Amino acid sequence: MNDSPPNLVKTMLPTRITLVALALTILPLASIHGATAPLFSSAIAGPTTMKWMPAATTALETELVSRHGESQRARIHRGLQQVADYWRAGDGERAVFEDFVVENFASDPATLDTTFERFEFLLEKMYGHANEIRLAMRRQTDLDLGPILPMDRISAGYSVADHYREDFFANKLAFTVLLNFPITTLEQRLAEGETWSRRQWAEARLALRYARRLPTEVQQAVSQASAEADQYIADYNIYMHHLVDENGKRLFPPGLRLLSHWNLRDEIKADYSDAKEGLAKQRVIQRVMERIVEQSIPQVVIDNPHVDWDPVSNKVVPAAVTDTAEPVPLDLQVVDLPEPDTRYRVWLNNFHAEQRVDRYSPAAPTHIARVFNDGREVPESEVEAMFSQILSSPLLGRVAQVVAERLGRPLEPFDIWYAGFRPRSAYTEEALNAVTRQRYPTPEAYQADIPRMLEALGFPADRAREIAAQITVDPARGSGHAWPLGMHGAQSHLRTRVGPEGMDYKGYNIAVHEMGHNVEQVISLEEVDHYLLRGVPNTAFTEALAFVFQDRDLELLGLAEPDKESRALMLLDSFWGGAEITAVALVDMRAWRWMYNNPAATPAELKDAVLQIARDVWNESFGPVMGIRDVTLLAIYSHLISNELYIPNYAIGQMIAAQIEGHITAADALGVEFERMCRTGDVTPDMWMKVATGDPVGPQALLQATEQALEELAAF
Ligand SMILES: [Zn+2]
C-alpha cells in the first residue's frame, strides 16, 4: 500500500532493455506496505512509558472478557497490547485510555465488518485526494511548462499526506485499527499468508499501516532531503561538444547535453553502432564518469556550456566555440577547482534523514531493515544470496566471452553497458527518431494511440479502451515517469519528454515502459477486490511488468519482429544488463551498511568508502571475467545518491522479469495474462509469483534462460 505520501521514487531501467533505456517512474516510496511490524510488541512504546499502563490493560482485559465472553479473550488481549504499544503520554491519562478501549472494541462480527469497510472507504478518499494534491504541488517541477520559480521547488517538497498518519494517532482512529485488527510480522506473512482470506490480507495491510508512529517533522525531513537530491541529479548535465582531447578535437556534436549518468550511459550504448569514433567516445565518457564518482570533475564544467574540458588532463579553458544561445555569464570564472564532494554530501543528507526515522521504528531500526522487511518483504540476506548466485555464476564469464567475440577486441570497463546484442542496434537513432517524431508529434498523439497499442499487445478491444481512458499523457521536464492513480476512477499519468520536433525514440521508448506502469497501476487498483490490497507486492514487480511492454516497443512501431536468434541475443542482453544492475545494487547495499557502521562520516570519508566498495564489487564480478581490476564505474549510478536503496529493486526485478516474461511468452496471450497477474494485488512476492507463474521468486528462470540462449546461439 502506498501509505506515506505519494513520496517520489524514481526508477531507472536496468540496461537489459534497450539501447536508450531511460526512465523515471514515480511510485510509492519506502514502506510500500505501510509500516514496520514490531518483533516485540512492547518495543515501540513512546519515549515515556506510562506507569499505569500494565494495571490498566490487565483490568480492561478482565472487564472486556466478562462483557463479551471468553471466546474474545485472545482478540482483546492482542488489541490492548497493540494500543498500549503506541499510546503516548500526550494521548491521554488512564481514564481516557480506558474509555477509548471500552467504546471502540468491536466485539461482534457485524461491527468489525463495518469498522473495516469504513476504514477502507476513508483511506481511499484520503490518499486518493492527497495524490491529486501532490500532483498539483509538483506540476511545475515535473512537467515541461517553462521556468521554475523558487516557490515551485518549495511546493514540490511539500506533501499533505505527511500528516495523515500522525493525525490518525492524534484523533485516535489509528488506535481503533490497532485495537481491532492484528499487526503481523514478516515471518507470519511468509509462513501463514497463503492460508489467509483476501479480507484477512486486507486487514493485515490495514494494521501494518499504523505499526509505526513518525512525527511529522521527521517525515518531512525525509521528503525534503529526497527532493534536494532529486534536484542535484536533475541539474547535473555535461555539455558534450565541450569535451576536447589534447589536440582540442571535439568528438560530440554541438548542443548535445547529457544528464549524468543515464544519458551518458545511453550515449555509450549508442556509440556501439558508430564504427568510426564510437570507441573513442566511449573511452572519453568513461573518464568523465570516473571523474564524477571520484569528484575530481571541475565544478565549473557541470551544467555549463561556456567552458571546454579535457577529461583526461582535467584542464579547463573558456569555450572556444559556442553552441548555446545563452550569453556567457559576466561573472564566469574558469577555474579547475573540483566539485567539493557534493555528490556524497547529498547522499549523506538522505542517510541522516533516515536516521531520524530509526528511533521511531525500533523493530526495524535501520533504513535497510525497513526497505527489505517492509517494502520488499524479502529479507536482505535472501536478496544478497540471490544476487551472489547471479554474479558468481559461470554464465557471467561465458556471456563476457560472447561480448568480446562480437566486439572483436578485449573488453573495457564501459562494456558493462554493451548494447550490441539487440537487433535494434541495426537501426540508427536518427532513423528511429524519424519514425517516432512523425507518429507522435505531441503528447496527445501518443495518448490517442494507446488503445491501438494495448490491443496490439493482446488486450481485448473493450479493455484496451477502458484502460486507456484512465491514462493521461503529460510532457515531462525530466526523462519521464509514471504517476499512479490513488483512487477508483482517477487518472494514471504517463510523463515523457516530447521535443519541439515531436517525440524522439528515447522519449518513445520511455513512454512504452511507463505505459506498462500505467496499465499495471490502473488494473491493480480498479480490478483488485480491496483498496487496501491495490498495487503489486513491491516496486520490482511493477518494473518487471513495465519491461514486458518496453521489450515490445519496436513491434508496436511495426519494426523488426525478433527471430529465434534475436530472442536468444536479447536474453543475453537481459542477463548482461541484469548482472550490471545487480553489481550496482550490491554497491548500494554495502554503502548503506557502511554509513550505518560509520554514522559520523564526512562526505570525503563516504567518498573513499564508496570508491573502495565499488572496486571490491567490481573485483568480485566483472573484474575476473574482464581481467581488469579496481574499476570505480559501478558507483556512477545516480540513484545511489537520490534513491535510498531503491536500486536492488532493479536487480530483483530482473529475476522477476525473467519469470514473468517466460510465463507470458509461453502463454502467448500477453494482455490477458498481464491483467490476470495484476489482479492479485499486494500480497507477498512469493505468493504473487506463485499465482502468476507457479513458482516463488528466484534467479533460476534468468539463469536457465541464459544458459539456453547460449546453447541456441552456439548452434547458429
Ligand atoms: Zn519503471
Ligand 1: centre distance to CA 497 (Å): 15
In contact, 692 and 680? CB cutoff 8 Å: yes
Ligand 1: centre distance to CA 557 (Å): 20
When pLDDT is averaged across residues 158-165 and rounded to a whole number, the result is 87
In contact, 523 and 476? CB cutoff 8 Å: no
pLDDT at 214: 81
Report the distance separating Cα 282 and Cα 265, nearest Å: 9
- Closest by CA to 307, choosing from 320, 288, 294, 293, is 320
pLDDT at 59: 97
Report the distance separating Cα 62 and Cα 73, nearest Å: 9
Q: Binning pLDDT at 50, 70 and 90, where does residue 216 land?
A: confident
Ligand 1: centre distance to CA 537 (Å): 15
Ligand 1: centre distance to CA 539 (Å): 9
In contact, 21 and 509? CB cutoff 8 Å: yes
When pLDDT is averaged across residues 6-10 and rounded to a whole number, the result is 31
When pLDDT is averaged across residues 123-135 and rounded to a whole number, the result is 96
- Closest by CA to 575, choosing from 694, 400, 411, is 400
Q: What is the tens place of the pLDDT at every residue in 606-627?
A: 999 999 999 999 999 999 999 9
pLDDT at 668: 73
> With helix as H, strand as E and coil as C, how does 186-210 read?
HHHHHHHHHHCCHHHHHHHHHHHCC
Q: At what angle do helices 648-667 and 380-391 cross, to 10 degrees?
A: 70
pLDDT at 559: 87
pLDDT at 238: 97
Ligand 1: centre distance to CA 282 (Å): 26
Task: Tell me which range, 260-274, 554-568, 644-658, is most confidently predicted by mean pLDDT.
Answer: 260-274
If you write DSSP's letter for every residue of 275-339 in order, what string do you get?
TTTHHHHHHHHHHHHHHHHHT-SBGGGTT-TTEEEETTTTEEEE-SS---SSPPPTT-----PBP
Ligand 1: centre distance to CA 567 (Å): 22
Ligand 1: centre distance to CA 650 (Å): 9
pLDDT at 363: 65
- Closest by CA to 677, choosing from 666, 665, 692, is 692
Q: What is the tens place of the pLDDT at every residue in 165-207?
A: 889 999 999 999 999 999 888 888 999 999 999 999 999 999 9
CB-based burial label for 336 (10 Å; 0-12, 13-18, 19+): middle
Ligand 1: centre distance to CA 495 (Å): 12
3-class SS of residue 244: strand
Tally the residues of the chain: 716
In contact, 19 and 266? CB cutoff 8 Å: yes
Residue 57, all three cell numbers? 490493560
Residues 6+ away with beta carbon under 8 Å from 240: 251, 252, 253, 256, 257, 258, 267
Ligand 1: centre distance to CA 673 (Å): 20
The fraction of the chain above a pLDDT of 70, given in percent, is: 92
Report the distance separating Cα 302 and Cα 338, nearest Å: 10
Angle at 394 between CA 393 and CA 395, to 5 degrees: 85
Ligand 1: centre distance to CA 545 (Å): 9
Residue 211, all three cell numbers? 505499526
Ligand 1: centre distance to CA 544 (Å): 8
When pLDDT is averaged across residues 685-696 and rounded to a whole number, the result is 93
Q: Please name the amino acid found at residue 665.
A: T
Q: What is the tens place of the pLDDT at every residue in 350-372?
A: 999 999 998 877 667 899 988 99
Ligand 1: centre distance to CA 506 (Å): 14
If you write DSSP's letter for every residue of 550-588 in order, what string do you get?
HTTHHHHTT-----HHHHHHHHHHHHHHHHHHHHHHHHH
Q: Binning pLDDT at 50, 70 and 90, where does residue 211 land?
A: confident
Model pTM score: 0.75
pLDDT at 311: 97
Ligand 1: centre distance to CA 347 (Å): 22
Judge whether residue 335 has pLDDT over 60: yes
Q: What is the helix, strand, coil percentage profile of the chain, to 5?
A: 60, 5, 35
Q: Binning pLDDT at 50, 70 and 90, where does residue 41 land?
A: very low
Judge whether residue 46 has pLDDT over 90: no
67-103 b/e (C-beta count within 10 Å ≥ 16 → b) = ebeeebeebbebbbbbbbbbbeeebeeeeebbebbee
Ligand 1: centre distance to CA 12 (Å): 6
In contact, 206 and 120? CB cutoff 8 Å: yes
Q: Binning pLDDT at 50, 70 and 90, where does residue 127 land?
A: very high
Angle at 208 between CA 26 and CA 533, to 5 degrees: 55
Ligand 1: centre distance to CA 638 (Å): 15
pLDDT at 423: 60
Ligand 1: centre distance to CA 242 (Å): 32
Ligand 1: centre distance to CA 25 (Å): 5
pLDDT at 654: 85
Q: Binning pLDDT at 50, 70 and 90, where does residue 698 land?
A: very high
pLDDT at 426: 66
Ligand 1: centre distance to CA 528 (Å): 21
When pLDDT is averaged across residues 304-325 and rounded to a whole number, the result is 95
- Closest by CA to 682, choosing from 223, 34, 4, is 34
pLDDT at 361: 74
Ligand 1: centre distance to CA 547 (Å): 8
Ligand 1: centre distance to CA 350 (Å): 22
363: alpha, beta or left? (left if phi > 0; alpha if psi -120 to 50): alpha
Q: What is the tens place of the pLDDT at every residue in 522-566?
A: 999 999 999 999 999 988 898 889 988 998 998 999 987 667 888
Q: At what angle do helices 94-104 and 53-68 cross, to 10 degrees?
A: 30
- Closest by CA to 610, choosing from 591, 638, 595, 630, is 591
Helix (H) or strand (E) holding 471: strand 471-475
pLDDT at 551: 85
User: Would you give the DSSP letter of residue 502?
Assistant: B
In contact, 716 and 569? CB cutoff 8 Å: no
Residue 7, all three cell numbers? 513520496
Residue 714, all three cell numbers? 552456439
Ligand 1: centre distance to CA 546 (Å): 6
Please give the residue that has the higher pLDDT: either 27 or 551. Answer: 551
In contact, 503 and 649? CB cutoff 8 Å: no
Report the distance separating Cα 588 and Cα 346, nearest Å: 15
Ligand 1: centre distance to CA 543 (Å): 5
Task: Indicate the domain borders of the chain.
Answer: 53-208, 232-342, 345-422+563-714, 427-556
